[in-house]
Amino acid sequence: MTPVLQARALRVNYGPAVAVAGVDLSIGSGEVVGVVGASGSGKTTLLHCLSGLLTADSGSVHFRDRPIEDMTERQRDELRRSHFGFVFQFGDLVPELTLVENVSLPLRLQGVRAARARERAAEQLEALGIGHLGPRTVGEVSGGELQRAAIARAVVHRPDVVFADEPTGALDDRNSEAVFELLLQQARTNGAAVVLVTHDRHLAARTDRTVVLANGRVVGAGAEVEAG
């Protein structure tokens, strides 16, 4: 099966510092991959390369059979909009908008009409147990509710890959667990692959596969994480 994402010999330098030092990584359709490693090991930089937010200094990233680095900025924007979803640590929703408006955005950017986009956004919020919060703005909900809305926004347009960077990092253990479960459930329902950057080894251990980074290199996978 063709992987949905494939990185080969990826390398990113920041001046003399090497953030990603030659990473090969293949992610299958619908596969949930945890990326763990110490602070500064290159997790976020790797995620940015895989999602086309950052172009590596060398190496390549293919989305299906298309090399991302050969795309124009416009094609990369289009790729992110149509095929990728993003969840960040603090949700990163637009503060002035309501939750339903925020979740409508990816659909609106794809040209879905406003009324239909709102309807689908409302259904997606409902699926995450926060349908009743649709009319509230970002400042009027709790951290856990905000992360649920962020997941709704990341999956509402049925992306092929959801990139999640510490999506539960700002939550307490119980909320963190619940939000993580929802992310997995939504991704699995939609057949999306997930690339999850996390410090939380318990969460990472529940992904299909874990990749351990140290100093910008892949140094292990799977069982070593649980043992570590």
We find the least distance from the C-beta atom of residue 182 to ligand ATP, in angstroms, to be 23
Would you say 43 or 120 has its CB closer to ligand ATP?
43
Would you say 16 or 139 has its CB closer to ligand ATP?
16
Which residues touch 175 (CB under 8 Å, ≥6 apart)?
143, 144, 147, 168
What token pair was written down for 63? 């989305």
What are the φ/ψ torsions at residue 81 (nearest 5 degrees)? -65, -45
Would you say 10 or 150 has its CB closer to ligand ATP?
10
Within 10-49, the residues that bind ligand ATP by CB under 6 A are 14, 17, 19, 37, 39-45
State whether residue 220 is helix, strand or coil.
strand
Which residues touch 7 (CB under 8 Å, ≥6 apart)?
23, 24, 25, 26, 46, 49, 50, 59, 60, 61
Would you say 23 or 130 has its CB closer to ligand ATP?
23
Would you say 37 or 106 has its CB closer to ligand ATP?
37
* Residue 11: burial class (beta carbons within 10 Å; 0-12, 13-18, 19+): middle
We find the least distance from the C-beta atom of residue 86 to ligand ATP, in angstroms, to be 15
Q: Build a one-symbol-per-residue string for 86-125: x at contacts with ligand ATP by CB under 6 A, - elsewhere.
A: ----------------------------------------
In eight-state DSSP terms, residue 158 is -
Q: Build a one-symbol-per-residue string for 44-83: x at contacts with ligand ATP by CB under 6 A, - elsewhere.
A: xx--------------------------------------
What token pair was written down for 171? 């939550």
Whole-angstrom CA distances from 61 to 10, 114, 196 are: 8, 34, 17
We find the least distance from the C-beta atom of residue 14 to ligand ATP, in angstroms, to be 3
The contact set with ligand ATP (CB under 6 A) reads 14, 17, 19, 37, 39-45
